[in-house]
């Protein structure tokens, strides 16, 4: 049987990476003084799963590190040793080493062998004073054989009970015997091991091979009765099924027959992937001599459920034969998803066209057609929503990488930082998630490095010794707002202004704070000395801003001297589709992104006031808002010039509000955003275009830019 093992490597790598991330998360969360046994178990399990996988794929370096790690964890878990901060550090270091090794196997990245040795030494030292078991009591059962040789009918089955041997020797023996036939390892009581071998070779050959490693007189070899034809047929069928399902027969999933015969231990359930294929034969032949491995460690029941779920997920991931209840997720390449999203985008446009064209029909005559169209509209919208949700990922994907970074960085700088996240479940488009990581990393690092003060300085300023770093995500209108806040020293206005002058930027001392803070996004600020102080931050802030803007987002700073700094990033939920409100001004139709729209109203004449030379303002709920006539901004032939006859749409962006004067509201619809720059160029005040139901093009207004220009309009009476 030839199998493409590489795909299983990939699954293992992906899974190991997830496990490592999980482990890190658990380690960071663990309470050192009174660790929750549940957490310790979970940490242990991640190490154990990685070890299992690594050994199966012959990645010995990884399995060795995990082995040492696991031994230590096991002792802590059993309460033989108290958990200390030192342990956590060592475990984190081990995680890094494993990650490095994993990358080494996966991408051929360099592995620092010295670091590997150091960590192993460190782990070893920590468990000093106690003999580390030389072989694995923790692996319930483990299969090494490679099914190169198909074991045909008439083969003998032997059970070889080994004396107490080093794990290395057992492994060597298994490798050797693997050349003769199918071998599996079964742990026995008292730390000993038994091998089951199925082979055509004679007993003498087996003994000869064993004698390389140990004294043959120590061996106990039993010949198991050959399987009955029924058993063999059953087993062959079972094997064929498994092989078809999984592509190969290494891992025998828990056999229903087997499960019926004896109550499977929790270990077996949890790690069912590594159950020996020989289990059935064991059952059939030598049950008495090979009792099911005793549960070495009792585990809470829910763990097995988790593990079972994982197993199911993994099976699905392997694209195996879906067995309904077993598969809960699949891995699909992102291109396929994007293609699907594009197609649905086209469908939405087509559907809108049909809807529009049929709207002119007589509802009495075409009642059935119109009903179907309404149905189509609903279905399309549902389809679109489901498809878009495929790409949505929780912010946790980004947030989860910060606790470690914060811990390390704070430790390095000698600062104390409490890291708090909020809204990790907020979902965001995958494309955005990936591109937000770097800017956020930068901001978090800046906050710790330059924002939060040293403990002594904090105490002197009357604050708590440890600083707070707050990372949150939340939906706000059609946007997601990500906030990085610290309670550090805040930005230093004077220094920023001084630096700006030095860089030749046009600044004046009476600029508003908000404008001053924006200066740190200027390219010249990046490598400034200003960052050496508590106040300044600036390494690559221009890059951060550029990245955010490239995603269609905005970035805003609020800071108060001595009280900290908050950086607000506002991003669109998705780049492809937007809820829009179509509005008419003159003969032209524009789309307003619904997320910016607060309300729309027809003003009373008394509420519209003229400010000499500054345009008009309108009083809305006690607030005076600048009135932006769209026809004036876009040089549209106006139909209405009196705001009291038209409609005012109150818009809000970047903390500013304004009233946009349009002739009428046309409707509300989801639009597929098309890029204007692909064939043309960026247009001031326009963020993109979309195709309307009639096949025509409507431009999408860039609300933020409109509001910005409205301010300029009143300041200097210039457009854009």
Site residues (vs other proteins, CB under 8 A): 342, 346, 349, 588, 633-636, 674-686, 689, 691, 695-699, 719-720
Beta strands in 663-716 (DSSP E): 664-672, 686-691, 697-701
**Helical (H) or strand (E) element with 597:** strand 597-601
The minimum distance between CB 354 and other proteins, in angstroms, equals: 16
Would you state the structure tokens that stand for residue 288, as one six-digit string?
């008495």
| Closer residue to other proteins in complex, CB, 342/527 | 342
Q: Which residues pair with 482 in a beta bridge?
A: 473, 569
**Distance between CA atoms of 248 and 635, rounded to whole angstroms?**
70
The minimum distance between CB 697 and other proteins, in angstroms, equals: 4
| Closer residue to other proteins in complex, CB, 220/682 | 682
Count, in order, helices (H) and strands (E) of the chain.
Answer: 23, 22
Whether the Cβ atoms of residue 582 and residue 696 lie closer than 8 Å to each other: no
Say if residue 659 is exposed, middle or buried (CB neighbours under 10 Å; 0-12, 13-18, 19+): buried
The minimum distance between CB 634 and other proteins, in angstroms, equals: 3
The minimum distance between CB 349 and other proteins, in angstroms, equals: 7
| Closer residue to other proteins in complex, CB, 193/585 | 585
The minimum distance between CB 689 and other proteins, in angstroms, equals: 5
How many Cβ atoms from other residues are within 10 Å of residue 275's Cβ? 23
Owner of token pair 């619809």 = 669
The pairing of strands 656-662 and 623-629 is: parallel
The minimum distance between CB 674 and other proteins, in angstroms, equals: 5
| Closer residue to other proteins in complex, CB, 302/677 | 677
DSSP 451: I
Report CA Rg, the chain: 34
Whether the Cβ atoms of residue 27 and residue 91 lie closer than 8 Å to each other: yes
| Closer residue to other proteins in complex, CB, 32/697 | 697
Beta strands in 264-413 (DSSP E): 392-394
The minimum distance between CB 687 and other proteins, in angstroms, equals: 13
| Closer residue to other proteins in complex, CB, 616/674 | 674
| Closer residue to other proteins in complex, CB, 349/522 | 349
| Closer residue to other proteins in complex, CB, 139/633 | 633
The minimum distance between CB 682 and other proteins, in angstroms, equals: 6
Question: In sequence order, what DSSP letters do the residues of 471-522 get, joined into one string?
Answer: EEEEEETTEEEEEEEE-S----HHHHHHHHHHTT----TT--HHHHHHGGGS
**Distance between CA atoms of 52 and 59, rounded to whole angstroms?**
10
| Closer residue to other proteins in complex, CB, 199/709 | 709
**Distance between CA atoms of 205 and 283, rounded to whole angstroms?**
26
The minimum distance between CB 638 and other proteins, in angstroms, equals: 13
């Amino acid at each position: 049987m030839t199998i493409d093992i590489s795909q299983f490597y990939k699954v293992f790598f992906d899974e190991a990476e997830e496990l490592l991330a999980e482990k890190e998360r658990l380690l960071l969360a663990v309470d050192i003084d009174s660790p929750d046994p549940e957490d310790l178990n979970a940490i242990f399990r991640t190490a154990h799963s990685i070890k299992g996988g690594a050994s199966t794929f012959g990645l010995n370096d990884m399995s060795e590190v995990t082995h040492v790690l696991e031994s230590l964890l096991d002792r802590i878990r059993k309460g033989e040793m108290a958990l200390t901060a030192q342990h956590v550090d060592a475990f984190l270091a081990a995680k890094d080493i494993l990650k490095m090794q994993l990358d080494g196997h996966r991408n051929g990245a360099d592995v620092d062998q010295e670091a590997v040795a150091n960590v192993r030494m460190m782990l070893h030292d920590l468990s000093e004073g106690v003999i580390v078991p030389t072989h694995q009591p923790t692996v319930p059962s483990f299969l090494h054989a490679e099914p190169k040789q198909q074991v045909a009918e008439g083969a003998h089955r032997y059970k070889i009970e080994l004396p107490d041997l080093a794990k290395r020797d057992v492994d060597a023996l298994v490798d050797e015997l693997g050349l003769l036939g199918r071998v599996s390892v079964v742990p026995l009581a008292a730390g000993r091991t038994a091998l089951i071998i199925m082979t055509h070779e004679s007993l003498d050959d087996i003994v000869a091979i064993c004698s390389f490693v140990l004294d043959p007189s120590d061996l106990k070899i039993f010949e198991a009765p050959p399987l009955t034809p029924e058993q063999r047929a059953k087993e062959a069928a079972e094997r064929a099924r498994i092989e078809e399902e999984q592509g190969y027969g290494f891992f025998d999933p828990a056999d229903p027959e087997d499960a019926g015969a004896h109550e499977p231990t929790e270990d077996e359930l949890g790690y069912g992937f590594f159950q020996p294929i020989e289990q059935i034969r064991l059952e059939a032949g030598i049950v008495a001599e090979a009792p099911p491995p005793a549960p070495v460690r009792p585990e809470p029941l829910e763990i097995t459920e988790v593990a079972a779920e994982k197993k199911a997920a993994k099976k699905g991931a392997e694209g195996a034969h879906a067995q309904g209840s077993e598969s809960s997720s699949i891995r699909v390449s992102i291109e396929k998803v994007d293609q699907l999203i594009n197609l649905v985008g086209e469908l939405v446009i087509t559907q809108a066209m049909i809807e529009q064209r049929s709207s002119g029909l007589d509802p009495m005559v075409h009642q059935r057609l119109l009903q179907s169209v309404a149905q189509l509209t609903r279905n399309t919208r549902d389809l679109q929503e489901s498809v878009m949700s495929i790409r949505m990922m929780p912010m946790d994907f980004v947030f989860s990488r910060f606790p470690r970074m914060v811990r390390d960085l704070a430790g390095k700088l000698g600062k104390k930082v409490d890291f708090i996240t909020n809204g990790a479940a907020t979902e965001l488009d995958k494309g955005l998630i990936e591109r937000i990581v770097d800017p956020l990393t930068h901001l978090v690092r800046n906050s710790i490095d330059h924002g939060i003060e040293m403990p002594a300085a904090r105490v002197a300023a009357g604050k708590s010794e440890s600083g707070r770093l707050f990372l949150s995500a939340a939906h706000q209108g059609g946007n997601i707002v990500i906030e990085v806040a610290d309670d550090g020293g805040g930005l230093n206005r004077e220094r920023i202004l001084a630096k700006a002058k030095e860089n030749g930027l046009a600044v004046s001392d009476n600029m508003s704070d908000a404008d001053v803070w924006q200066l740190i996004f200027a390219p010249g600020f990046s490598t400034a000395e200003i960052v050496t102080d508590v106040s300044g931050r600036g390494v690559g802030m221009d890059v951060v801003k550029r990245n955010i803007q490239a995603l269609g987002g905005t970035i805003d700073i609020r800071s108060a001297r001595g009280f900290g700094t908050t950086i607000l990033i506002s991003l669109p939920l998705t780049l492809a589709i937007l809820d829009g409100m179509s509005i008419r001004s003159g003969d032209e139709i524009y789309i307003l992104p619904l997320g910016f729209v607060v309300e729309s109203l027809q003003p009373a004449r008394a509420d519209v006031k003229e400010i000499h030379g500054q345009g008009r303002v309108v009083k809305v709920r006690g607030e005076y808002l600048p009135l932006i006539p769209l026809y004036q901004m876009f040089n549209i032939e106006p139909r209405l010039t009196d705001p009291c006859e038209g409609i005012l749409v109150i818009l809000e962006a970047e903390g500013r509000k304004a009233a946009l004067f349009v002739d009428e509201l046309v409707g509300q619809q989801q639009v597929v955003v098309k890029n204007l720059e692909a064939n043309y160029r960026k247009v001031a005040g326009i963020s993109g275009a979309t195709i309307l139901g009639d096949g025509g093009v409507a431009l999408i207004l860039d609300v933020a830019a409109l509001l910005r220009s409205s301010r300029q309009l009143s300041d200097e009476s210039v457009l854009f």
